Amino acid sequence: MSSIKDVARRAGVAISTVSKVLNGYPNVSEETRERVNEAVRELNFTPNPIASALSSKKAGRVALLINLDTKTQTVDEINMQYLSGAINRAVEKRLDVRTLFFSMLRDRSAEEIEDYFRSQSIEGVIIYGMGMQDVVLQRLIGERRFKIVVVDAPIVNETTSSIQVNHEQAQYEVAKRTVLENGGKSVLYLSGRADGYVTGERLLGIQRLAREEKLSLLIKRGDFSEKKARELTFQYGSDADVIVCASDLMAIGAMRALQEMDIFRPVCGFDGITLMGYAGMQMYTVKQDFYRISRKAMDEMGRLLEGGAGRRVVLDHQIIRMQYQDVIS
Amino acid sequence: MSSIKDVARRAGVAISTVSKVLNGYPNVSEETRERVNEAVRELNFTPNPIASALSSKKAGRVALLINLDTKTQTVDEINMQYLSGAINRAVEKRLDVRTLFFSMLRDRSAEEIEDYFRSQSIEGVIIYGMGMQDVVLQRLIGERRFKIVVVDAPIVNETTSSIQVNHEQAQYEVAKRTVLENGGKSVLYLSGRADGYVTGERLLGIQRLAREEKLSLLIKRGDFSEKKARELTFQYGSDADVIVCASDLMAIGAMRALQEMDIFRPVCGFDGITLMGYAGMQMYTVKQDFYRISRKAMDEMGRLLEGGAGRRVVLDHQIIRMQYQDVIS
DNA sequence: CTGTTAGCGCCTTCAG
DNA sequence: CTGAAGGCGCTAACAG
């Protein structure tokens, strides 16, 4: 491994000049810049990130905090997409990522967590799947000691950005399309878990639609559970004209119940997960591109690390018609 | 953040002494050792891993290489367990993990990959889900420049360890139990993908059983696909007494086909994935504890990094009776 | 057993 | 615009 010194010697300049070129500083003549770059190429030189971190006291380290407590297949799918999106972007931005799980922070105080991050030279944290009951994380955010990006939780301050699609609008749109295309005056809405931030936002969307379209609206908590959705559909499904679900998983549960009851009701979902083991069903759903969301989250982290202020980032979504497929084609 | 210097001053000793205590070197009197530890506690000191890495030229960095190409829910579940197992153990062992995906190495030569690892100070790589067609990785392993642990691929050399359950034996056992409990003389075996290392091993297991029990054995390639398994079962299922599948997913496909054909055949699976969206089915399967496997893989990596030689590690498995459950309970 | 010292590879003023 | 020099926090001989 050649070092900056070798490059300097080969280019016939001082170490500091090389450093400047490497980091894109001004005040280097075009000529020497080119000479340095050439030497870099010839030696196949890559700066040692460890030395650079130590010297500059900027490691560019960001932790991805994944909520793995709710063990469900869809969540796994979503988390994997989150991971690959963030990591891919991080490689491009030369940020240093480490993956952590909520479970590792269990039973630790906000202070201990801070110490841990600090000792690991972690400067930023992207939080996925945070719930309203996660007080420790909320405190961490409140402390403003780290740059933080929260996915799907509307928390913003000077050092914290939030990133998500417009859940209210998306829920409104997908439900509207389903209702209008099929007709119907009464809606059964199966909502998400009470502690989820998005649950309330999506709820607002369906309520707006109900108001606008003068629909009668029955709301039941499905907790993002396929099973619960199924049970609730058995109980209330036949009384409704349309069933709107706050997640694809619940939509599957609802559809299965309807099949077993041998009645038809239009159903719509939310998330646009790609993998489902149920054939022959169709519905509208909100397609969230989790990979892209996570890339954007990493972008936003880059901005924060460079001194940008926290802000709210809203990404777009799509309403798509989804066809269930076999798990592996 | 206090530094080693502060600790030294506070304990009234030299920096190097503190370093020795920190790293558990000998040649420090019990007394000073205690004094240093006290200072460490009082200052709430944690050594800066970056500085330590730079100085010692040992970053303790290991990359997790996850195969995310085959996008299936079960694979996601398994990969998440791999990730959390490895990362949890790494935290305990103070190793520095970064997660990478096969897709990031696509289109790169073994040399480029080596350079990348080297530039990132990565010393070890744990490879999950490598196939026989991954020649680039095979070359990387062959080079012996990095410490490597391969999960579920039987490759071993001085710097490479392999870790897996005994697939041959496991397949033998689960099939044997299923056959003996239900009786039957002919077996339909749905095998995995041709490029998977474990496919062949599992095949050997069922072949051994067939020999021992004098079973007639029909082998069909199911490619770990639920859909294919289903189709194959439609075609060949009724002619067999028992259906043995090389994965749970295929077992599900087989069972669904049997249900639709309205005939009964005992089925068994492999992997013991916890999440399946199918209710009311039961079968024997091989339970692999992916979380634990991955922890062990990280342990093994620790051994290699400390200079141990590559070896083959075989973990135990269980044969369990599995009851399908709803996705979310 | 303990302290001194010279780096690790890079960044960053500060002179020139 | 370029180069010299002093660290960043820690490790590792080497003296004492």
Tokens 């914290």 found at: A160
DSSP-H helix ranges across B134-237: 135-143, 167-182, 197-213, 226-236
Q: Is the pLDDT of residue A326 over 50?
A: no
pTM: 0.92
**Averaged pLDDT for residues A64-92:** 84
**Averaged pLDDT for residues B25-51:** 88
Of residues B252 and B206, the one with the higher pLDDT is: B206
First to last CA, chain A: 45
Q: Is the pLDDT of residue B293 over 60?
A: yes
Q: What is the mean pLDDT of chain A?
A: 90
Contact in structure between A97 and A90 (CB atoms under 8 Å): yes
**Averaged pLDDT for residues B104-109:** 88
Tokens 């040992």 found at: B58
The closest alpha carbon to B243, from B221, B269, B215, belongs to: B269
The closest alpha carbon to B125, from B154, B92, B97, belongs to: B97
Nucleotide nearest to B36 (CA to C1'): C2
Q: Is the pLDDT of residue A226 over 60?
A: yes
pLDDT in tens, A189-210: 999 999 999 999 999 999 999 9
Task: Judge whether A112 is closer than 8 Å to chain B, CB to CB.
Answer: no
Q: Report d(CA A83, CA A77) in Å as an integer.
A: 10
Cα A216 to the center of its chain, rounded Å: 33
**Averaged pLDDT for residues A242-252:** 92
Q: What is the mean pLDDT of chain B?
A: 90
Q: Report d(CA B118, CA A40) in Å as an integer.
A: 16
Is A275 in contact with B103 (Cβ distance < 8 A)?
Answer: no
Task: Judge whether A73 is closer than 8 Å to chain B, CB to CB.
Answer: yes
Give percent above pLDDT 70 in chain A. 94
* DSSP one-letter string for B53-120: HHHHT---EEEEEE--SS--HHHHHHHHHHHHHHHHHHHHTT-EEEEEEHHHHTT--HHHHHHHHHHT
- Predicted confidence at residue B73, as pLDDT, reads 58
Nucleotide nearest to B15 (CA to C1'): C3
Contact in structure between A12 and A5 (CB atoms under 8 Å): no
pLDDT in tens, B122-146: 999 999 999 999 999 999 999 999 9
Instruction: Note the CA–C1' distance, B27 to C9, in angstroms.
Output: 30
The closest alpha carbon to B255, from B267, B245, B246, belongs to: B267
Is beta strand B318-323 parallel, antiparallel or unpaired with respect to B282-287?
antiparallel
Which chain B residues have a beta carbon less than 8 Å from that of A329?
225, 227
Structure tokens at A209: 């639609």
pLDDT in tens, B64-74: 999 986 555 56
- Predicted confidence at residue B241, as pLDDT, reads 96
Contact in structure between B228 and B222 (CB atoms under 8 Å): yes
Instruction: Note the CA–C1' distance, B28 to C1, in angstroms.
Output: 6
